[in-house]
Chain A
């Protein structure tokens, strides 16, 4: 059941070193994607593609409760 002020977060591939593959997070109003990334202890540059509700977004975009966020890295670096 979705809780009102939470976003669903999916970490893809090697980003799973930093958290569970699928989780829910409480976000404060105005919090952005990069805020969430930093809270995970993750270097934002390691996140190549950000998808919010199935669309590519910028890391500077704010999040809304109920958003489905997917953080995608790229390999080929090791």
Chain B
């Protein structure tokens, strides 16, 4: 092997190959040094995320409900705050002004600077004060020359701009923190959140989060060595922001305002809906919580504690999460079953009370009795005894089935989080709760014969319903057999649920609740107007909390325009349904007839 020659060639080849590479380094570092120094030393490219503005939420007529605002974090960058010659904070730094405007003490800034003044850390911005509002920020910005090395970063927030509260509908947003970041950006999610993005935590903000958030964009910007922005590097390289599209809700602000006013001093719920498409026009829950603290960063713990300790529970979304005995309103469901069984013409005598086969005596609300009644009469007068007797001839399972058909005992599917199911007892439930050993040790299993089943027929006892379920059942009657899923977004396509019953049954129920308002318990809801047809059913529900709950559920239709609006009013401990609830409903009916356009059908 002539290895000596090969050794030389191999080594010199290696040396020769290194030449162009070394020359390349030479070219970059010596020949083009000035160019790259300029690019790097003074100007640096930085990819900056541009937050997409969140979609603005409007009422059905385009009145804004929720808008975007910014809060500001005050940050310092140690490398810029330190005077290179003295190695201390610039003498001109105006600590007293900063203290008087923002209450940031000199020591706080000193300690941050001391901690991070060495190595690469000095290039980072460090937050000194969070959630400064726009006016304070502007005051500092006016004197920015007195504050070398400080900058403000924007923190998105929401501002509630209308005169209605709507807290349970709109909900609120929260900032993405470390913990939430992991949760939101799970591997399957196509969207990636970054720090200090906001996300919808409740209400519509949560339900329509994927729509409202839009998509953050990116921009490549030139940042000089002081961190001062020198503008966009190259327009075409960025990623465009996709603004969150506006969300037009079905809420009518005026109607909502009235509803909230009515509930100001009581505990309860009001929902107004358009039965012809399932849009919710007003949605009030009382007491509510105030959304304005959410405009200024995270809510202080004291406010949370106040809300959580309030006995009236303002955080409870009563229209969809409050579960109440529906009372006589539920008689409509029982009536549907009586009609289905063809027993509507059987008359029962009411003399004010009824003794069940197990010896229990239950009273009618009218203790002097209603006399002989058929179904229609019983509905008009809301006679309990009639239903006690009628239900004895009905099967328990069928009663459960028709309640389920009317969507009781399960969520109606409104587009808000945390809807509750209410309760329609099943056989298993009854067995668990109403079979017992009497004093002789005998196992009593005949819960179906006594007052328990009868209680169900009048919406008492085991039955629990949310106001949205009650208004949904009214929608079935108003549409004669179908109802759209209640929703809060205008023109949204939703499911249409049907109940297969004879058309005669629907007409009967419709007429019965018409008469109930005209001649019966719902008289207080009636208005004197040739155009309006009012229908409705009152309810006076006994409950363990105290005074009876006052219910009214019904709808108004216009003869001229055929527009309809359904309503449910629930006043906790409001007494008789014929009283306060009917009177509130009456006001809405009047308002509807006088302002037909509020349905937005034009």
A and B together in one complex: no
